[in-house]
Amino acid sequence: MKKIGLLCLALVLALGTLGVGFALWSETLYIDGTVYTGELDWEFECGTVTVGDPCDPPTADKNCDNDFQNVRPAPGDKNVGCTDVVCVDSDGDGDVDTLQVTLNNVYPCYYVHIGYFIHNNGSIPLKFERCIISGGGSSYAFTSLPCLVDLDLDGDGDLDLNLRFGDNFGVQLHPCDSMDQSFDLHVKQGSEQGTTYTFTIELEAVQWNESIHPD
């Protein structure tokens, strides 16, 4: 009987010890501190925009065939069409986030190359995921490259322009660094005489580790 009593006492002491341990494990630990998150921010460097056929100063046109084949000077070095690019801060935060492109007095086979740099103003690396082209009440978006996009900018059902975007989707852009991008435009047979074509180009970026494009 004495042994049974000692055994019961040992069990009580053991359970008591476990209870203390459980109580210690169940206590809440409070940490007071400040967490700083990174900023995703970028802009077009407006001063770096180059246009192969600007309106000012005027230059001779270039022509090409479908799918940007056989780029060549226009016959007789004619200066008929021209292209304007305007930088736009669409959300008023001081960063240029949109390019507005206007093609003036262009015609089938007209070709122009447009280049620019993009700067990472934020504090985390980023990758560009998508390009959005809007004009004539329509919007076109694409996420893969190489990319040839046909555009109907006047809504008449005929394709007016062919756009070829550069090949740097998924390229990592680090804070304070800049990236060179460009695209080509070709006026197609569906374009109308005397029409001024205007559209905008916007880009979407994500932090580098959320990109759909592998390294």
Domain annotation covers residue 36 = no
Of 77, 107, 75, 70, residue with least CA distance to 196: 107
Confidence of residue 144 (pLDDT cuts 50, 70, 90): low
Q: Which DSSP letter does residue 196 get?
A: P
Write down the pTM of the prediction. 0.79
Tell me whether the omega of the peptide bond preceding residue 73 falls within 30 degrees of 0, making it cis: no
- DSSP alpha helix (H) spans, the chain: 2-25
Q: What three-state secondary structure class fits 71?
A: coil
Domain count along the chain = 1
- Residue range(s) defining the domain that contains residue 48: 42-210
Distance CA 53, CA 191 (A): 18
Does residue 91 lie in a domain region? Answer: yes
Q: Are 178 and 45 in contact (CB under 8 A)?
A: yes
3-state helix, strand, coil in the chain (%, to 5): 15, 40, 45
**Confidence grade of residue 171 (pLDDT, cut at 50, 70, 90):** confident
* 77: in domain: yes
pLDDT at 211: 83
The confidence score (pLDDT) of residue 48 equals: 94
Question: Which tokens belong to 23?
Answer: 């109580």
Question: pLDDT category, 140, cuts 50, 70, 90?
Answer: confident
Beta-strand relationship, 110-120 and 62-63: antiparallel
Within a domain: residue 61?
A: yes
Q: Is residue 74 part of a domain?
A: yes
Q: 78 lies in a domain?
A: yes
pLDDT of residue 151: 86
Q: What percent of the chain has pLDDT over 70?
A: 82
Neighbour-count burial of 206, counting CB atoms closer than 10 A to its CB (0-12 exposed, 13-18 middle, 19+ buried): middle
| Inter-CA distances, 3 with 8, 9, 12, Å | 9, 10, 14
The answer to whether 44 and 118 are in contact (CB under 8 A) is yes
pLDDT score at 1 = 54
How confident is the model at residue 33, as a pLDDT?
64
CA distance 202 to 26: 52
Dihedral sign for Cα 166, 169, 171, 174, please. Answer: positive
Asked whether residue 28 is domain-assigned, the answer is no
Paired tokens of 4: 């049974």
Pairwise pLDDT comparison (62 vs 214), residue with the higher score: 62
